Amino acid sequence: MWTNTHLAFIGACLLAIAVAVPVQAAELSDKEVGASLLTDLKTALRAKQAADIGNHVERIADAYGAIEDRRVRSRLLKGVGKAARYKDEDVRREVLRALARMGDDGGWKYVVPFLKQSDRKRKPEHFDEALQATRDLTPDAAVPVLLEL
pLDDT at 142: 62
Reference 92, options 111, 72, 77; nearest CA is: 111
**Quick one: how far is CA 111 from the chain centroid?**
14
What predicted TM-score, i.e. pTM, was given to this entire model?
A: 0.69
Element spanning 145, H or E: helix 142-147
- Tens-of-pLDDT digits for all 149 residues of the chain? 556 665 556 655 555 565 554 444 456 788 888 888 888 888 888 888 888 888 889 999 999 888 888 999 999 999 999 998 888 888 888 988 898 888 888 888 888 788 776 666 666 677 778 777 777 766 666 656 655 65
pLDDT at 46: 87
CA 43, 73, 95, 119 torsion-angle sign? negative
